[in-house]
Structure 1
């Protein structure tokens, strides 16, 4: 049975990259996103090969098991083709691609996934990430070393632990089957979207209920507004709904839309690395698949970074506290250079400090009891003393006391 619903696919180079290494496909039953990597031409070729092989799966299936098996076989064929391509064109050594694909079979969605492109499901006003990123930072999140929010800004957020590449003919691919229902909105995207547009904003765009094409445009605009440092590819699939059904013509976007137009630069001379003697430098060196023996080294490096970050916070906190204490000490010392005249248990006294208190902390103390009784002062003068009289210095305070004494004598 042909899928009943509507879909759209869109791909954009972004604001930083010079070329689009993403590819996307939206057909009658098959929907897929591939994010290529491995240099200016390598990523283009890798994602194009992936979509070119997968689009043959855009047919009807008798069962979900049949569709799942077809996806596994096709992705395995992509890995083999990448290896064969590099054997003929060694200048492409090191290329690879992510793949996130979905086949609709009656009331079910059959998914296959490898890499850090994502599949989301928007259902009942809630957005759920269905796939799990095969990245180094996701392993750190899963092990509790960092939070999902910290993963968004981690310096190694683009390090892939699993990817379709030119060295592994038997890649480990996640496949699973999920029931779907009318009203569901499926979103397949490269990390050019998910890396810069957070889930709440993605959910808000999907919740507007616009046609898939307009919704994809909205999400792309959000990615571009956020700087779009990577290629952005979006495929949206609505199950049922009010929008026009599939027209019969598949939509291919990104580098796969023009695979024959890719120009491959000549291989660079000189020494390569131990994995690929003729590896070509990539535009974005953070997008690579580390060998297994480097995983512990990466984790230990992250631990060291976390320790340095904690030490930095502690040192910063100590410095702030020291500055606050120093400031309080200096302020208190200043208050002890000030004097005023006030009342103390029925007599006039000279106080050192200022009239204000800091919570329960008194900022003044009696410096000298003058022996002048408040009752000997005229009513108005007594009220002034009880309200305190500010002095410019100790000598000034004593002068005030002398005048008060004269007033008290005169009152007698």
Structure 2
């Protein structure tokens, strides 16, 4: 048995009517399967896959041997799914993701297909070990979009690889990694990773509490954020003392219940066989995944994404122009208003009427000399001269000229 503490929890979420996820925390093997195929297909797919794959939870001499056994078990599970669809045509189109690790000494063998994920928390850092087999991940890998854009992309739920009744030899990612005492491994469905960001996952995994409590906290975080999809979490702590509850294998989710092969309502299946839509926000009664096409559909999606990006750039450009024009119009209107204002001031030796307001915007002055009245500052009383040097605001040009007229009178001049 692997040295460490583990936990497995699965929750239906707040929107789905049934749980299509399955999870397992065993002696050496830990895995999550996220099913797809509608109301009565995804749960069957994940359960069949898990029950076949956990047969690989046996001792191994080397991690390489475990890696090969894990790949063979997943391929065999894929065959069982195809056989089940042949016997139950109403399940056509069902499939499942699979993420699993097998612990062998200080190494693990890892297998991955779909968009469930495996994370490693080590020495205060969180690493995503697997790469999603999704359409948007291909766009990210090809540099077409950023990782941030992928999180909100309308095609983010389209899966490129899953187990199911389509491909008799699915491409499965496998690898062998070293593991250290204190490592905390997380396997989860996208009901967690699609709702909770990496910083929140890291914060939960960093807590020095047993694996069961960490799993409960992560599921609660997903529920607190609406949990639009089933959420399944499996934790394995390397080198930790097992709790009594963690000494026996644990099966959670749909695999923990008897298989049900009948659907109570018509179910939409895909028309095209190579991609699947794994939607975490579908309505409870609708299908959770959509099977779609071959390479031509992938090309169509690329073209559609390019058209969408072009429309987005055009919208941004038009929006920027509109905003720029609005700003320019606002500036012109504001400047026009300033030119309706006047004030009386001085220019070295005489009284001057200025048009505008006594402010500058950077190097731009919002006022200019309107009229030099010719009234000498030297003939004004001390009080009037101080007022003029400090400027006197006027409501209008007439008001400004009235002020100048008064100054001429007090200075002994004529109008």
What range describes the TM-score normalised by the shorter chain of this pair? over 0.9
Which residue does the alignment assign to 2:307?
Answer: 304
- Between the aligned partners of 1:227 and 1:338, the Cα distance in structure 2 is 57
- Between the aligned partners of 1:259 and 1:31, the Cα distance in structure 2 is 21
SS in 2 for 1:54: helix
Which range is displaced more, 140-149 or 170-179? 140-149
Q: Deviations over 1:42-84 (max 9, x none)?
A: 0010000010101111111122222111111111111111111
Q: Deviations over 1:141-175 (max 9, x none)?
A: 11111111221111111110011111111000011
C-alpha spacing 1:55/1:189, structure 2 compared with 1 (3 Å): same
Which range is displaced more, 149-158 or 397-406? 149-158
Residue 318 of structure 1 pairs with residue 321 of structure 2? yes
Which residue does the alignment assign to 2:255?
Answer: 256
Q: TM-score, normalised by structure 2?
A: 0.93
C-alpha spacing 1:11/1:289, structure 2 compared with 1 (3 Å): farther
Residue 89 of structure 1 pairs with residue 88 of structure 2? yes
C-alpha spacing 1:120/1:275, structure 2 compared with 1 (3 Å): closer
- Between the aligned partners of 1:268 and 1:198, the Cα distance in structure 2 is 35
Which residue does the alignment assign to 2:298?
Answer: 295
Q: Which runs of 4+ in 1 moved over 6 A?
A: 269-272
Which residue does the alignment assign to 2:375?
Answer: 372
- How far apart are 1:270 and its partner, in Å? 10
- Between the aligned partners of 2:7 and 2:94, the Cα distance in structure 1 is 27
- How far apart are 1:368 and its partner, in Å? 1.0
SS in 2 for 1:24: strand
Superposed, 1:393-408 pairs within 5 Å as 393-408=396-411
C-alpha spacing 1:243/1:388, structure 2 compared with 1 (3 Å): farther
- Between the aligned partners of 1:141 and 1:75, the Cα distance in structure 2 is 27
Contact 1:98/1:117 (CA < 8 Å) preserved in 2?
yes
- Between the aligned partners of 1:185 and 1:270, the Cα distance in structure 2 is 40
Superposed, 1:109-128 pairs within 5 Å as 109-128=108-127
Residue 328 (structure 1) aligned to one of 328, 331, 343: 331
Contact 2:10/2:253 (CA < 8 Å) preserved in 1?
yes
- How far apart are 1:359 and its partner, in Å? 2.3
Unaligned 5+ runs, structure 2: 275-281
Which residue does the alignment assign to 1:16?
Answer: 15
Which residue does the alignment assign to 2:279?
Answer: none
Q: Deviations over 1:318-360 (max 9, x none)?
A: 1111111101111111111111111012110111111222222
Q: Deviations over 1:98-148 (max 9, x none)?
A: 000111111110011100000111111111111110001111111111111
Contact 2:163/2:170 (CA < 8 Å) preserved in 1?
yes
Which residue does the alignment assign to 1:57?
Answer: 56
Contact 2:81/2:164 (CA < 8 Å) preserved in 1?
yes
SS in 2 for 1:82: helix
Contact 1:161/1:290 (CA < 8 Å) preserved in 2?
no
Q: Matched residue pairs, number?
A: 405
- How far apart are 1:370 and its partner, in Å? 0.6
Superposed, 1:194-205 pairs within 5 Å as 194-205=193-204
C-alpha spacing 1:289/1:221, structure 2 compared with 1 (3 Å): farther
Which residue does the alignment assign to 1:73?
Answer: 72
- How far apart are 1:285 and its partner, in Å? 5.4
- Between the aligned partners of 1:12 and 1:385, the Cα distance in structure 2 is 79
Which residue does the alignment assign to 1:356?
Answer: 359
Which residue does the alignment assign to 1:265?
Answer: 263
CA-based RMSD = 2.1
C-alpha spacing 1:289/1:31, structure 2 compared with 1 (3 Å): farther
- How far apart are 1:283 and its partner, in Å? 2.6
- Between the aligned partners of 1:272 and 1:329, the Cα distance in structure 2 is 58
Q: TM-score, normalised by structure 1?
A: 0.94
Which range is displaced more, 169-178 or 286-295? 286-295
Which residue does the alignment assign to 1:180?
Answer: 179
- Between the aligned partners of 1:5 and 1:383, the Cα distance in structure 2 is 87
- How far apart are 1:362 and its partner, in Å? 0.9
- Between the aligned partners of 1:247 and 1:359, the Cα distance in structure 2 is 70
Contact 1:355/1:364 (CA < 8 Å) preserved in 2?
yes
Which residue does the alignment assign to 1:26?
Answer: 25
Which residue does the alignment assign to 1:206?
Answer: 205
Contact 2:134/2:158 (CA < 8 Å) preserved in 1?
yes
C-alpha spacing 1:204/1:310, structure 2 compared with 1 (3 Å): same
Which range is displaced more, 300-309 or 83-92? 300-309
Contact 1:339/1:392 (CA < 8 Å) preserved in 2?
yes
